[in-house]
Amino acid sequence: MNEEDRIFDGKLFSPGAPELRAIKLRCHNLCSEYNRTFEDETEKRAELVHQIFAEFGPASFIQGPMQIHYGTHTRIADHVFINFNLTIQDDAPVTIGPHCNFGPNVTIVTPMHPMVASERRCVYNPDGSEKRVCWAKPVKIGSDCWFGANVTVCPGVTIGDGCVIGAGSVVTRDIPANSFAAGVPARVIREITDADSLVHQPELLGELKVKPE
C-alpha cells in the first residue's frame, strides 16, 4: 500500500513521502500560476482549474487567489462561486456540490495530527527508524450551500444540502440539510424554512419575483 492509498484508507501516512510531495508541488505551482492570471484571462483560467482539480464543473468560478494542497483529491460540481482566498488542504477527498457560494477566506481542512507532542514529531517503523505521520478525514459539502466570510470547515465534516454557514464559523461536526449554523464551534441555530423567503421582504424584492409567473 502506497502513501496515497493509506490516505484514502484512513490510515496514518507520511506527508513527506516523495510521491505525495510530487503531487503537492505540482498543485502548488499550478495555483501560483492561476493566482498570477488576470480575471479576464478566462481560457487560461479554465485550463488551469481543470489541471488543478479532479473535477471542476461547468459555470463554476474561483475568484482567486487560492491555495490548494493536492487538487486531485477535490471535486467541485457545477455553478459553484468561490470568492477571494480559498484554501483547501485536501489530503483526504473534498467534495463540493452544485450551486454553492463561498464568501472570502473560506478554509477547508482534512488532515489530523496526534495530540501528544512527541508523536507529532515522529512514530517508529518496525526497524526503529523514525516516521513523521498524520491522517486525514474527508469533507463533503452538499448542494446549494452558502458559506459566509472566514468560515473554516474541519476534518471529517459533512454539510447537508441547502445550508447557510454564518461568517467566521468553525464547523467541527456534521450539519443537517436546510440548516442555518454559526459560531465557534458552529452549532445549528435553526432550520431554514419558507418563512425565510424573499417574498416576505418586498422592500428588497421590488419588482422582482422569486418564481416565474
Active-site choice (50, 69, 73, 113): 113
Count the neighbouring beta carbons within 10 Å of the beta carbon of residue 93.
19
| Cell numbers at 194, concatenated | 419558507
Distance CA 171, CA 157 (A): 7
| Cell numbers at 191, concatenated | 432550520
Residues in the chain: 213
Residue 50 φ/ψ region, left for φ over 0, alpha for ψ in the -120 to 50 degree band, beta for the rest: alpha
Q: Is 123 helix (H, G, I), strand (E, B) or coil?
A: strand
The question of whether 69 is a catalytic residue gets the answer no
The amino acid that residue 89 corresponds to is Q
Q: Which of the residues are catalytic?
A: 113
